[in-house]
Amino acid sequence: MPRHRFDHVPGLFFDPQYRTAEQCSHLVRRSLELYDRLESATGGGPLEQAHIPQPAYVRSEKHNLPSEEHFARVALTESNGRGIRCEYFPRYGEDGHALAYFQRNANLPDFAADDLVPGVRELVEREGFAPPDQELTWKLTMNFYKRVGGRIAGFPFHVDIPANGVVTMILNVHREALFQIAKGDVRADIVLPVGALLLLSGESRYEWKHRVLPTDAPAGGSDHAVERVSLVLGFQ
């Protein structure tokens, strides 16, 4: 995986061409199918409250992730009859952003287990994050960014919780986005094209906060339609 050119952010790796446009189109289609199933399963029912702990240097900033979020526990059935479970947040961080969190290998959707994990497994071994004989427990976060008032929603400043894994691997599969990562007065802006993979490890994973900025929505389209999807993998 090529090292990105922002060398002042320790532990950040960037591959702008990790997946092809065709591969991304497949992942978007499968992701949107799953989004529809999540929305149907949730059905506007009651939500549970979750506390998302954030370091003080994030909490003290404006435009950051609230510590309290609300989710539904959702059970789904994959095409082969396999049951999976996740926590689904219809609104996460700000209006227009929905998030689904799948914990442990047995709960990964089929497309993630078949199309994402094998290649990422090779990558983490090649980069020295895990030895070939180590059994890894995977976590998948699916981010759905919707159109709200002519804008595509973003994700406020935050630091991924330790339970998400020792590294954060962000695969942008649907529409270009602007990613920002910051520590104190130092900030890096990274444009994520479709197919890009951004990997945060070490200092960049635990000591830098990051966010995705809202962007202008394309002409046409309906409010609250999903306009961008990103897939985030971690492991323990």
pLDDT band at 184 (very low <50, low <70, confident <90, very high): very high
CA distances from 185 to 10, 61, 108, 236 (A): 15, 12, 38, 31
What is the pTM for the complete model shown? Answer: 0.94
Which amino acid, residue 222? S
Does residue 3 register a pLDDT over 60?
no
In this structure, how many other beta carbons lie within 10 angstroms of the beta carbon of residue 59? 13
pLDDT tens-place string over residues 189-233: 999 999 999 999 999 999 999 999 999 999 888 889 999 999 999
What is the structure's pLDDT at 5?
Answer: 60
Give the number of residues written for the chain: 236
The CA distance from 75 to 116, in Å, is 21
Residues in Cβ contact with 136 at an 8 Å cutoff, skipping those fewer than 6 apart? 121, 124, 130, 235, 236
Is CATH 2.60.120.620 the classification given to domain 12-235?
yes
How do the domains of the chain map onto residue ranges?
12-235
pLDDT tens-place string over residues 98-136: 999 999 999 999 999 999 999 999 999 999 999 999 999
Compute the average pLDDT of residues 148-159. 95
Q: Is the CB of residue 74 less than 8 Å from the CB of residue 86?
A: yes
Q: What is the dihedral of CA 111, 104, 9, 96, to 10 degrees?
A: 60
Under DSSP, is residue 232 helix (H, G, I), strand (E, B) or coil?
A: strand
pLDDT tens-place string over residues 26-84: 999 999 999 999 999 998 778 999 988 889 888 777 788 887 899 999 999 998 899 99
Tokens coding 198:
């951004």
